[in-house]
Amino acid sequence: MWNIAHNLGGFAAPILAGTAARTLGWSWGLWAPGIIALFVGSLIMLTLKDSPEARGFSPVEQITVTSSRPDHNESEIEITPETSVENLSLLDNLFRNVLSNPFIWGLAFTYFCVYVVRQGITSWSVFYLIKEKGVIDAGAAAV
């Protein structure tokens, strides 16, 4: 969802702001996106709930572990955040579960590469079209 939101916003904002500035004056190029952002933000604040449980879904962090040790008789132990065996501090949790995970590093590297390509296309394609292809209007090159 995050990737869709800011890519769509990066595409739609110049078109919206440019159209508003051209038809209603330069100040509306700033006011129009701001008013839309306030409306959407207010809508989200009114409809967003704090947890899945508040929307009627099951808890996210409910884990059931089956113990196969001889002294536990194959019993199921339910672990929730409230009954967790060890309470890690924020930094310990960050280092133990996030930064030591090779899959997280792989995703971060992939995301970095995607952004290099994205920024290259969105930033330099306009200059390329103006210089090499002779497009006169930067707005036309941006679309």
Asked if the model's pLDDT at residue 63 lies above 90, the reply is: no
Start-to-end CA distance of the chain, whole Å, equals 23
pLDDT class of 16 with cuts at 50, 70, 90: confident
The string of pLDDT tens digits covering residues 79-110 is: 555 545 467 788 888 888 889 999 999 999 99
Interacting residues of 141 by C-beta distance below 8 A, sequence separation 6+ = 125, 126, 129, 130, 135
**Entry pTM:** 0.45
What CA–CA distance (Å, rounded) separates 6 from 10?
6
